């Protein structure tokens, strides 16, 4: 196989014009490893370069925004570029639990140091999360922080690098999860009767009004998030996939699950296609060395596989805007390469 190399990246970035769009919220979803972080970073950088106050958020536990931007992205929103209005945050689950404080006391998920009480609630063993957190507490806390960031008046646009498909869908199911959690808590209260005095820190008073009120508030916030996600004028939900049959099917399932929740998918991004950059973006023809589809048998066979997957995706995603991003030999890291990717998403 001929070596596929990237050349003259700075020249491409300088020549390409990018329009980041007008949606307040841009979310990238899909299975792990398809390039969601790259697309979110490229979109956020293009938005900030346009002068829009932009926050890029990673809710994926396996964060890679820092690597992509080649700078430290903290667990609290902070400006990561001085020349353009770009902010970033990688939500840390344990830090999110401490910040959210849904139940009062020691934080959202610890339930005031639940310990053995967690086992009585049916939350012991494999169900317990880090530091004894209840199941779903870290996701609930991360969602609460995401809602705060989306409401933050400092930012005109929020770009979200979501966790892999299953995690994202669970976040959207949080109201039902919290109802279940509340039911189990109330059952526990009935079982222990007179022991409730020792649990005031957990429930926020004799009647547990603080704890239930916090949960009700979080459920209301998540429902408000659903409303925002269902508004195509405010939210641009984009599915990212690679041109392989399994990825097409995973993306189709995700779209169906989002449709069931009333969340429209506006864009499909197909990443790592073996085709010239000039086919998908306005860039100089000699800027990149592309796969040799004439004499490289490996390249030809991979392109045949990709063409079949692309054809299937275009059929299944009729009516959705399809963006194509080429396969690059090197990792997409740093501003120059992110500007090239942003040009493909324009």
Residue ranges of the chain with pLDDT lower than 50? 1-20, 103-132, 203, 206, 208, 210
Q: Give me 6's structure tokens.
A: 């990237």
Q: How far is CA 87 from the centre of its chain?
A: 16
- Domains of the chain, with CATH numbers? 9-94+140-166+233-345 (3.40.50.300), 99-135+172-222 (no CATH)
Give the contacts of 17 (CB within 8 A, at least 6 positions apart). Answer: 282, 343, 346
Nearest-angstrom CA–CA distance, 339 and 49 = 10
Residues 135 and 129 sit within 8 Å (Cβ to Cβ): yes
What is the model's pLDDT at position 158?
95
What is the model's pLDDT at position 121?
32
What is the model's pLDDT at position 108?
40
| Share of residues in the chain with pLDDT > 70 (%) | 67
């Amino acid at each position: 196989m001929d070596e596929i190399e990237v050349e003259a990246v700075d020249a491409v970035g300088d020549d390409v014009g990018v329009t980041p769009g007008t949606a307040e919220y841009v979310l990238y979803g899909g299975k792990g490893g398809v390039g969601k972080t790259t697309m979110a970073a490229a979109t956020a950088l293009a938005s900030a370069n346009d002068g829009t106050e932009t926050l890029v958020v990673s809710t994926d536990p396996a964060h890679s925004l820092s690597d992509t931007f080649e700078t430290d992205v903290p667990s609290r929103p902070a400006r990561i570029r001085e020349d353009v209005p770009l902010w970033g945050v990688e939500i840390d689950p344990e830090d999110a639990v401490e910040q959210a404080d849904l139940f009062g006391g020691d934080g959202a998920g610890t339930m005031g140091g639940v310990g053995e009480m967690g086992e009585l609630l049916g939350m012991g063993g494999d169900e317990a999360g880090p530091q004894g957190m209840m199941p779903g507490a870290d996701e609930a806390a991360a969602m609460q922080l995401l809602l705060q960031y989306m409401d933050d008046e400092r930012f005109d646009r929020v770009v979200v690098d979501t966790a892999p498909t299953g995690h994202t869908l669970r976040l959207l199911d949080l109201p039902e999860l919290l109802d279940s959690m509340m039911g189990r808590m109330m059952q526990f209260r009935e079982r222990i009767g007179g022991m409730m005095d020792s649990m005031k820190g957990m429930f926020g008073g004799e009647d547990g009004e603080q704890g239930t009120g916090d949960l009700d508030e979080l459920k209301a916030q998540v429902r408000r998030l659903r409303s925002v996600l269902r508004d195509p004028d405010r939210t641009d939900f984009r599915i990212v996939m690679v041109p392989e049959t399994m990825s097409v099917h995973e993306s189709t399932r995700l779209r169906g699950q989002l449709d069931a929740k009333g969340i429209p998918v506006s864009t499909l991004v197909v990443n790592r296609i073996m085709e010239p950059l000039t086919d998908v973006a306005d860039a100089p023809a000699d800027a990149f060395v592309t796969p040799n589809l004439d004499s490289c048998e490996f390249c030809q066979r991979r392109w045949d596989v990709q063409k079949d997957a692309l054809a299937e995706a275009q059929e299944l995603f009729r009516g959705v805007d399809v963006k194509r991003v080429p396969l690059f030999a090197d990792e997409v890291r740093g501003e120059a390469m992110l500007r090239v990717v942003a040009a493909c998403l324009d």
